[in-house]
Amino acid sequence: MTHAVEIRSYNLKPGTRDAFHALMTQQALPMLRRWNVDVVACGPSPHDADSYYLIRAYRDIVERDASQDAFYGSDEWRQGPREAILALIDTYASIVLMLDDAALQALRRPLD
């Protein structure tokens, strides 16, 4: 089986990665779990002090689009941590790869 796996890379404002990580682990991850989003891995990128990544898996592109439209359009997100998280992001980029089960499992990391 193949999965649509999104890798999102965040370039954070200098010096904000610890605050971003706290928001992700304490607010965003629990919220994503409530919305049944399969978060494969996330965390500080080891290549510099202002980068962070988030990897999510979906059945296909259609499920990804519907899931993200619902999540990012929700009152829980908009009235919750949205502003605080966006304030720490300089830029971000997403790519989507179609990966099989073995490749997806190889990407999985324990979440905080």
Per the structure, the count of domains in the chain is 1
In a domain, 50, yes or no: yes
- Helix (H) or strand (E) segment spanning residue 44: strand 38-44
Q: Which residue segment(s) compose the domain that 54 sits in?
A: 2-107
Residue carrying structure tokens 């929700």: 74
pTM of this structure:
0.94
User: How do residues 28-76 score in pLDDT, each as one tens digit?
Assistant: 999 999 999 999 999 999 999 999 999 999 999 999 999 999 999 999 9
Please give the Cα distance from 19 to 30 (Å, whole number): 16
- Helix (H) or strand (E) segment spanning residue 99: strand 89-100
**What SS3 class is residue 105?**
helix
In a domain, 24, yes or no: yes
Average pLDDT over residues 80-101: 97
In a domain, 112, yes or no: no
